Amino acid sequence: MTNLESIRSEILTGRGKFEADEMTPDHINAAAQYTHKYIADGGTFEFVLEMASQLAKKGTLSPGQAKGVLNVFRAEVNREVESAKAKLVQIADGVYEIGTWKFQLATQADDAEFAAGETIISYPGKRKPWLGAGFVRGTKIQFWTRIREDYSLASMRTIAELLVAGGSTNAVAERQVA
């Protein structure tokens, strides 16, 4: 196992942020490996590009530089994990009932003028059939400001979050309405 693979394993088991005072030669080597890989993969984050320049000039990274590079790597690994989780638990478009609440999940067309390709969660409205509440992003909802700030919708937000939290479509959603 290379140093970088070892660091990835640490991250996948819940490793927190890296600190300069814990950088060993293996950590510094892993940071150098990641820097080379990042450049080869066409990465554009200015910090890592600067670290690649430092690595080329000096042949190594300082503990502080290695810490920064490994934290960029940690963020990348965590984004990959979140993306994979989101793909596993994505809920199908449709209308769902949970208790007295109804929700519609609808994915916008890729060429839509508003939120192309985004999944929107809505609830029944008084003047319109459905009122948009926010974007569904994997197992989370990014509620729109008017929804976040409306105290009377707190229970709706909680139930909607249960719906998209993964696995709850079987345990919580009483039925998908045809």
Question: Is residue 46 domain-shared with residue 72, that is, in the same domain?
Answer: yes
Question: Is residue 62 domain-shared with residue 25, that is, in the same domain?
Answer: yes
Q: Is the pLDDT assigned to residue 119 strictly greater than 60?
A: yes
Question: Is residue 138 domain-shared with residue 70, that is, in the same domain?
Answer: no
Question: Is residue 80 domain-shared with residue 114, that is, in the same domain?
Answer: no
Question: Is residue 7 domain-shared with residue 84, that is, in the same domain?
Answer: yes
Question: Is residue 102 domain-shared with residue 131, that is, in the same domain?
Answer: yes
pLDDT (tens digit per residue) in 66-94: 999 999 999 998 888 776 666 555 678 88
Q: What is the 3-state secondary structure (H, E, C) of the chain?
A: CCHHHHHHHHHHCCCCCCCHHHCCHHHHHHHHHHHHHHHHCCCCCHHHHHHHHHHHHHCCCCHHHHHHHHHHHHHHHHHHHHHHHHHHCCCCCEEEEECCEEEEEEECCCCCCCCCCCEEEEEECCCCCEEEEEEEECCEEEECHHHHCCHHHHHHHHHHHHHHCCCHHHHCCCEEEC
Note down the domain range covering 18: 3-88
Question: Is residue 77 domain-shared with residue 142, that is, in the same domain?
Answer: no
Question: Is residue 23 domain-shared with residue 64, that is, in the same domain?
Answer: yes
Q: Is the pLDDT assigned to residue 6 strictly greater than 70?
A: yes
pLDDT (tens digit per residue) in 134-154: 998 877 888 888 888 887 788
Out of 88, 123, 138, a domain closes at 88
**Residue 93: predicted pLDDT:** 85
Question: Is residue 25 domain-shared with residue 60, that is, in the same domain?
Answer: yes
Out of 88, 123, 153, a domain closes at 88
Question: Is residue 50 domain-shared with residue 110, that is, in the same domain?
Answer: no
Question: Is residue 17 domain-shared with residue 84, that is, in the same domain?
Answer: yes
Total domain count for the chain?
2
Out of 33, 65, 88, a domain closes at 88
